[in-house]
């Protein structure tokens, strides 16, 4: 298990699903020497105890830092998302599902 107690099998499934940031679509590690494009674990619902395929995703450090503890439906309308062109239409399917549940 990793630092977030994500079981190995689930971690592998998520790594296979999320090849780019689920929010902005940046390829992980695409900017050399930039921590912002490195992959980081994201709890879509801000509760580290919810360790499911529907709540765990990989996003870039930049998006993860911006979202922080904000509710997903609030964050998607933030200045950060507006500046990055992040909208319901541009996010990954797992995020669209969460937004449809108004998380």
Confidence band (pLDDT; 50, 70, 90) for 2? low
pLDDT of the residue at 36: 81
pLDDT of the residue at 62: 94
Evaluate if pTM is beyond 0.75. yes
More confident residue, 22 or 2: 22
Buried b (16+ CB within 10 A) or exposed e, 23-58: bbbbebeeeeeeebbebbbbbbbeeeeebeeebbbb
Q: pLDDT digits over 23-77, tens only?
A: 999 999 776 767 788 999 999 999 888 999 999 999 999 999 999 999 999 999 9
- Average pLDDT over every residue of 76-101: 96
Res 22 pLDDT > 70: yes
- Average pLDDT over every residue of 4-21: 93
């Amino acid at each position: 298990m990793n630092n977030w107690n994500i079981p190995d099998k689930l971690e592998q499934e998520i790594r296979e699903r999320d090849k780019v940031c689920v929010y902005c679509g940046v390829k992980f590690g695409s900017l050399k020497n930039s921590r912002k494009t490195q992959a980081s674990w994201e709890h879509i619902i801000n509760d580290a105890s919810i360790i499911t395929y529907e709540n765990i995703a990989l996003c870039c450090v930049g998006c993860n830092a911006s979202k922080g503890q904000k509710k997903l439906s609030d964050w998607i309308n933030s200045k950060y998302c507006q500046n990055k062109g992040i909208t319901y239409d541009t996010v990954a399917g797992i995020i669209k599902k969460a937004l449809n549940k108004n998380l």
